[in-house]
Chains A and B, each alone.
Chain A
């Protein structure tokens, strides 16, 4: 499309794996911004981050209305914290151990000249391959879903900042669809062009499709990424940890951010 620009290859980069232990939801939100900024500034090599959740959460997209998307009473009754992330897209419901969540922080040159649609699919190609190896025929369903014959497996969201792109995915591993529908307000309008009227039926978790432990699926995803692109084990730096802590206080933990769209 843009023949004068130079698109980089996955193998051009020294990819780092960051997979710390369980973190609180607000910490995850803040880390997405910190790591995206660090990659944009060239202080951090392109990174794959695998998330582990220390507490249940509803994560809403940056443009979503808090009150339209979440049943605050139900969330509170279940002890579920509501947080807002920096990328667009829809609300997700997570409990420790029931999703597979990851982020890729990459230089924008990786998707140079691509349409948004191609950029989304490109970032998850390694996951489709990994799932295929595990016997799940999965494909990218535009705009931003990973799906299978059994139903939707996960959704992706991207955000761009400076010279970097964040690609964020949550896949259902063993989701409690009943509880999910109690806390998320999934309207009929949203499902109107999906060929189904039930959000619960849309989601088919990876556990039922693979019969494999969550850790096994994650390990296979990481191995697949490593084989294709190279991947070094890395860690969050103390500066990054401190920056995330600061952002929780200044932004992600504030009512102003959570209710940015009330």
Chain B
């Protein structure tokens, strides 16, 4: 988890949110921090540009960030009018942790 090597490693996680949709993440870890975070999946998100905001919110967070803080980071990056269907900040936190496991 506390990856301090200079060489970035990559991670891939998948999580089917119970009663929701599949959320997938591809990312890299560089000096213990999340890098090139790319969320994908068959969920619904309005407006679609919100996906970029979510990726950006996760970028650079320490790998050891707990699930609650990961979810908070996602929530904090979203405008009030953003709507998720089959996707949740908590689900995103789970998939990030799976990618790092």
A residues within 8 Å of B by Cβ? Answer: 61-65, 68, 86-91, 116-117, 142-144, 157-160, 187, 189-193, 261-262
The CA-CA distance from A189 to B23 in the complex, in Å, is 10
Q: Complex Cα distance A141/B47, Å?
A: 24
> What are 23 contact pairs spanning A and B, CB under 8 A?
A61-B42, A63-B42, A63-B48, A68-B26, A68-B40, A86-B48, A88-B43, A88-B44, A88-B45, A88-B48, A116-B83, A143-B19, A143-B86, A144-B44, A144-B86, A157-B44, A160-B46, A187-B22, A189-B14, A190-B14, A190-B42, A261-B38, A262-B38
Give the 8 A-B residue pairs with the shortest CB-CB distance, closest first: A90-B42, A65-B40, A88-B44, A189-B14, A116-B85, A261-B40, A190-B22, A192-B16
CA A153 – CA B71 in complex, angstroms? 34
For B26, the closest partner residue in chain A by CB is A65
Residues of B44-60 contacting chain A, CB below 8 A: 44-48, 51
Q: In the bound complex, what is the Cα–Cα distance between A219 and B19 (angstroms)? A: 33
Collect the chain A residues with CB atoms within 8 Å of residue B75's CB. Answer: none
CB–CB A193/B18 < 8 A: yes
Partner of A158, one of B18, B24, B44: B44
- A82 CA / B20 CA spacing, docked (Å): 25
- The dominant DSSP class at the A interface is loop
Which residues of chain A have C-beta atoms less than 8 A from B16's C-beta? 189-193
A89-B26 in contact given A63-B51, A116-B83, A189-B16 (Cβ < 8 Å)? no
The size of the chain B interface, using a CB distance under 8 A, is 25
Known contacts A68-B24, A88-B45, A116-B85; is-contact A63 B19 (Cβ 8 Å): no
Contacts beyond the supplied A64-B42, A68-B40, A193-B16: 10 A-B pairs with Cβ under 8 Å: A61-B42, A62-B48, A63-B48, A89-B42, A143-B85, A160-B47, A190-B14, A190-B42, A191-B16, A261-B38
B41 within 8 A of A: yes
Interface centre among A63, A68, A87, A191 (most CB of B within 10 A): A63
User: B24 is contacted by which of A65, A88, A157 (Cβ under 8 Å)?
Assistant: A65
How many whole Å from A242's CB to the nearest CB in chain B? 25
CA distance in complex: A144, B19 (Å): 11
Closest to B46 in A: A160
Most buried by A among B38, B42, B43, B85: B42
Q: Is the CB of B42 within 8 A of A65?
A: no
Contact B44 A116 (CB under 8 A): yes
Nearest opposing residue in chain A for B47, CB measure: A160
* Cβ distance B40 to chain A, nearest Cβ, rounded Å: 4
Least CB distance from B78 to A in Å reads 15
Interface members, chain B 20-44 (any A CB < 8 Å): 20-22, 24, 26, 38-44
The answer to whether A63 touches B20 (Cβ under 8 A) is no
Contact A143 to B26, CB < 8 A, known contacts A88-B42, A88-B43: no
Q: Whole-angstrom distance from the CB of B52 to the nearest CB of chain A?
A: 10
Complex contact A63–B86 (CB within 8 A): no
How far, in whole Å, are A206 and B46 apart by their CA atoms in the complex?
31
CB contact between A189 and one of B15, B39, B45 (< 8 Å): that residue: B15
A5 CA to B48 CA, complexed, in Å: 25
Residues of chain B lying within 8 A (CB to CB) of residue A187? 14, 22
Q: How far is the CA of A158 from the CA of B45 in the complex (A)?
A: 10
